[in-house]
Amino acid sequence: MPQNKQIHLDNRPVGQAVVSNFKLVISDTPALQDAQVLVRHHFLSLDPYMRGRMNDAKSYAVPQALGQTMGGGTVGEVVGSKNTKFAVGDKVVGMGGWQQYSVVDGDQPGALRKLDTSHIPLSAYLGAVGMPGVTAWYGLVKIIEPKVGETMVVSAATGAVGSAFAALSKARGCRTVGIAGGPAKCKYALEELGFDACIDYKLHPDAPSLSKALKDACPTGIDGYFENVGGMVLDAVLSRMNAFGRIAVCGMIAGYDGAPLPLAYPALILMSRLKLQGFIVSEHMEIWPEALKELGSLVATAKLRARESIAQGIEAAPEAFLGLLKGKNFGKQLVKLF
């Protein structure tokens, strides 16, 4: 059995997360027991929700335990098996965590899923055809419920969730507007992701300025909004929402360091009779097959060309994760392990 490099959470962050919160550990991989599978991870997914789990505070997810391997999604290859359902060479997706190898009970429901990589790249199963894509699908289809001709807006528009949202929204005949950071990301949103407009929030120092840009990009107002950021961005969008607009709240990355994110004008929710709903996609497993079928078709037919930022080696995971929280990534943030 191979030696295994892992990244543990060594101590909890105070305010901003830093590299010293993490620790590299090398351990021996245990021998396989009956029904177990040894997976060698090719890619590790880094996602904003992981920052919240680093805190020992009440949240929708159990806090990450200290001295244990950081949790996270992985795709890889079966390299050892004592389970008749999985053969050596099978490509699989699971929650292997921040490590090179994992030993998984192959009989545990949902622990591992076989993948078809004939038309879809392995890494896409952590992004467009994985949890981020399904997150975009659920927020748009089940909460926002778009109608042809309506205007949809998404923040963090060029990330893994935002890029999938664009393809799904355009497929439903909606004007689709993104909010992203920097001219390169906005150019990518327009030229490759199919957005009708993209606003560079870095050009706007406050919510009124961003609100004016949204008015120009959304002349008939905003009918549906997918929230990944919070703070000033949410304040700006609320001021442009149409009556009976719908907002799906997926993330609040502006507040992941623990600082509160007060709303400047919450009365707008009442005045515009808005529906505002938060959700956690793992609580809606019943929709995953339908969502993955559509997302897989979009990727296979090149209607969704999601970009990836790839860090090399497990040792690079902490720095890449901290960069993700600051918006340094371009598209889905992955770590290539093998």
DSSP class per residue in 12-69: --SSS--GGGEEEEEEEPPPPPTTEEEEEEEEEE--THHHHHTSSS--SSPPPPTTSB
Q: If pLDDT is split at 50, 70 and 90, which confidence band does 254 have?
A: confident
Angle between helices 131-138 and 160-171 (to 10 degrees): 50
Block residue for tokens 């396989």: 32
Backbone angles phi, psi at 82, to 5 degrees: -120, 35
End-to-end CA distance of the chain: 16
- What three-state secondary structure class fits 135? helix
Statement to judge: residues 10 and 29 lie in one domain: yes
- Specify the DSSP class assigned to residue 304: -
Pick the range with the lowest mean pLDDT from 27-31, 200-204, 303-307, 313-317: 303-307
Cite the DSSP H helix spans in 204-307. 207-217, 232-238, 267-271, 288-300
Q: If pLDDT is split at 50, 70 and 90, which confidence band does 62 have?
A: confident
Structure token pair of residue 94: 């699971």
* pLDDT cut 90: percent of the chain above it: 89
**287 belongs to a structural domain:** no
Statement to judge: residues 66 and 103 lie in one domain: yes
Q: If pLDDT is split at 50, 70 and 90, which confidence band does 315 have?
A: very high
Residues 311 and 72: their CA atoms lie apart, in Å, by: 15
Statement to judge: residues 135 and 212 lie in one domain: yes
Q: If pLDDT is split at 50, 70 and 90, which confidence band does 129 have?
A: very high
Average pLDDT over every residue of 9-30: 96
**244 belongs to a structural domain:** yes
Q: From residue 323, how far is each of 16, 278, 334 by CA, in Å?
A: 12, 25, 12
Q: For all residues of the chain together, what is the average pLDDT?
A: 95
Q: From residue 228, how far is each of 89, 101, 136, 209 by CA, in Å?
A: 37, 31, 10, 19
Residue 26 has pLDDT above 80, yes or no: yes
**234 belongs to a structural domain:** yes
Angle between helices 131-138 and 288-300 (to 10 degrees): 110
Q: Using alpha carbons only, give the angle 133, 142, 224 rounded to the nearest 5 degrees.
A: 85
Pick the range with the lowest mean pLDDT from 84-93, 158-167, 202-211, 259-268: 259-268
Measured on CA atoms in the order 64, 65, 66, 67, is the torsion positive or negative?
negative
Report the run of H or E that residue 317 belongs to, with start and end: helix 317-325
**298 belongs to a structural domain:** no
Structure token pair of residue 314: 């497990």
Question: What pLDDT is stored for residue 61 in this prediction?
Answer: 73
Residues 8 and 69: their CA atoms lie apart, in Å, by: 4
Statement to judge: residues 167 and 76 lie in one domain: no
Question: What pLDDT is stored for residue 256 in this prediction?
Answer: 74
**322 belongs to a structural domain:** yes
Question: What pLDDT is stored for residue 11 in this prediction?
Answer: 97
Residue 59 has pLDDT above 80, yes or no: no
Statement to judge: residues 64 and 168 lie in one domain: no
Backbone angles phi, psi at 226, to 5 degrees: -110, 115
Number of domains in the chain: 2
Pick the range with the lowest mean pLDDT from 30-34, 203-207, 253-257, 323-327: 253-257
Residues 149 and 114: their CA atoms lie apart, in Å, by: 38
Q: Which CATH number fits the domain that encloses residue 317?
A: 3.90.180.10
Statement to judge: residues 212 and 94 lie in one domain: no
Statement to judge: residues 120 and 185 lie in one domain: no
Question: What pLDDT is stored for residue 269 in this prediction?
Answer: 97
Report the run of H or E that residue 167 belongs to, with start and end: helix 160-171
* pLDDT cut 70: percent of the chain above it: 100
**160 belongs to a structural domain:** yes
Residues 132 and 130: their CA atoms lie apart, in Å, by: 6
Statement to judge: residues 147 and 240 lie in one domain: yes
**292 belongs to a structural domain:** no
Residue 13 has pLDDT above 90, yes or no: yes
**Sequence letter at residue 236:** A
Residue 162 belongs to domain spanning: 131-282
Question: What pLDDT is stored for residue 197 in this prediction?
Answer: 98
Residue 178 has pLDDT above 90, yes or no: yes
Statement to judge: residues 113 and 55 lie in one domain: yes
Statement to judge: residues 73 and 34 lie in one domain: yes
Statement to judge: residues 136 and 110 lie in one domain: no
Q: Which CATH number fits the domain that encloses residue 143?
A: 3.40.50.720
Average pLDDT over every residue of 7-30: 96
Residue 58 has pLDDT above 80, yes or no: no
Residue 292 has pLDDT above 80, yes or no: yes
Residues 62 and 53: their CA atoms lie apart, in Å, by: 7
Question: What pLDDT is stored for residue 78 in this prediction?
Answer: 98
